[in-house]
Chains A and B, each alone.
Chain A
Amino acid sequence: NAGVTQTPKFQVLKTGQSMTLQCAQDMNHEYMSWYRQDPGMGLRLIHYSVGAGITDQGEVPNGYNVSRSTTEDFPLRLLSAAPSQTSVYFCASTTLAGGPRNEQFFGPGTRLTVL
């Protein structure tokens, strides 16, 4: 199993540009999520999904869109990038069976810089 994969690993954007961060998992997990990691802030939840066709907002959703058309994929879209979105982005997944006890599996991250 590849686990959780993310592409690209690094990206530089100009203000106003759009892009999509890709996330895929091959563990048949129902739950997938996106976090951003900023210095001194820990990880903050952006959006999450509990299954194909179902998404919801986390703590910091503004400026980001998501969709979940398949169990495997959960892309994160920046419609008009802003310097405040400079961050490291992590995708994570877990199974919903067993509730809150489950380990979440993280991808390697995407380091995004917005100029």
Chain B
Amino acid sequence: GNSVTQMEGPVTLSEEAFLTINCTYTATGYPSLFWYVQYPGEGLQLLLKATKADDKGSNKGFEATYRKETTSFHLEKGSVQVSDSAVYFCACSDQAGTALIFGKGTTLSVSS
């Protein structure tokens, strides 16, 4: 079945630093790819998504590009803020196209 591997955390950065969280996937067919974010004490919410190769998802200054040749969907942000501190999950759709397969999550901590 499909699977997702994302970099281990925690990631600790200073405000305005550049962020990269690596994510790679294994899948048959052409899954949709997602980044979800979980703020402390809350549920998950969609950060961005891409549904086909070379698509770039973007939201709130975060970006990720669907790279089929490297089976990757790395999350980037040029200048992080304290408010970006959260757990970030990479996910792909399963073969049936309904359930999500999640990575283990990466905790980001940004200090001022």
Contacts and interface: CB of A to CB of B under 8 A. Distances in A.
B82 interface: no
B102 A100 contact: no
Contact of B51 (A31, A43, A101, A106): A101
A92 B102 CA distance: 13
A106 B105 contact: no
Interface in A2-35: 4, 31, 33, 35
A108 B32 contact: no
Nearest to B31: A100
A104 B99 CA distance: 9
B49 to A, nearest CB: 7
A18 B72 CA distance: 42
A100 B98 CA distance: 6
Interface string B2-20: 0010000000000000000
Interface residues of B, number: 23
Nearest to A96: B98
Interface in B18-51: 31-32, 34, 36, 42-46, 49, 51
B104 A45 contact: no
Interface in A39-84: 40-45, 48, 50, 58
Contacts of B36: 106
Nearest to A31: B98
B97 interface: yes
Contacts of A58: 99
Most chain-B CB neighbours within 10 Å: which of A92, A94, A104?
A: A104
Contacts of A43: 44, 89, 100, 102
A42 B105 CA distance: 6
6 contacts: A42-B103, A45-B100, A48-B99, A92-B44, A100-B94, A106-B36
